[in-house]
Amino acid sequence: MTTADIEQFWAAARNRKFCLQQCLDCGWWNHPPMPRCRSCRSNQLAWQPVSGKGTVESFTETSVRLLGFGAQSLVFVRVHLREQFGLVHVGRFTHAEDIAPRRELAVVACFDESVDGTTLVNFRPVPVADS
Ligand SMILES: [Zn+2]
């Protein structure tokens, strides 16, 4: 996997789309991306948009102290994505307001800008009616 290959993930994120590599021969979601499909070894792969919906499998919380900003809590979640059994993605848990992270919490991908201007794919909780 080259930098040019993974660039398609970041280009999609800049356009506020969550795209993953999918095998055009067998349909397997090949994530993290690889030059060949993990399921059938095909090299016929394409970047496809995914729902971004999933459930929290696990999470971790850490506190960092940034000069001039004081202590900040960062929560990262490992999310099972709906598209395929075993398909997971890790991102920050953001836009949660007063909802605490927990296992099995329904989340959806969201997009946040980092300090260097990179658009990150993160996750936010979704209301029960939307999950
Ligand atoms: Zn395949």
**Helix, strand, coil share of the chain (percent; to 5):** 10, 45, 45
Distance 29 CA to ligand 1 centre (A): 8
Distance 20 CA to ligand 1 centre (A): 14
Locate the domains of the chain by residue range.
1-49, 51-131
From first to last of its 131 residues, the chain has per-residue pLDDT tens of 567 678 999 999 999 999 999 999 999 999 999 999 999 999 999 999 999 999 999 999 998 887 777 888 899 999 999 999 999 999 999 999 889 999 999 999 999 998 899 999 999 999 766 65
Cα angle at 101 between 55 and 95, to 5 degrees? 90
Distance 35 CA to ligand 1 centre (A): 11
pLDDT, residue 110, reads 97
* Integer Cα distance of 131 and 117 in angstroms: 30
Q: Give the C-alpha distances (Å, rounded to integers) separating 64 from 51, 78, 90, 121.
A: 31, 20, 19, 20
Instruction: Tell me the CATH number for domain 51-131.
Output: 2.40.50
Distance 23 CA to ligand 1 centre (A): 5
Distance 80 CA to ligand 1 centre (A): 20
pLDDT, residue 2, reads 60
Distance 48 CA to ligand 1 centre (A): 14
**Omega of the bond prior to 32 within 30 degrees of 0, cis?**
yes
What are the residue ranges of helices labelled H in 15-112? none
* Integer Cα distance of 75 and 104 in angstroms: 15
pLDDT, residue 6, reads 87
Distance 19 CA to ligand 1 centre (A): 17
Distance 41 CA to ligand 1 centre (A): 6
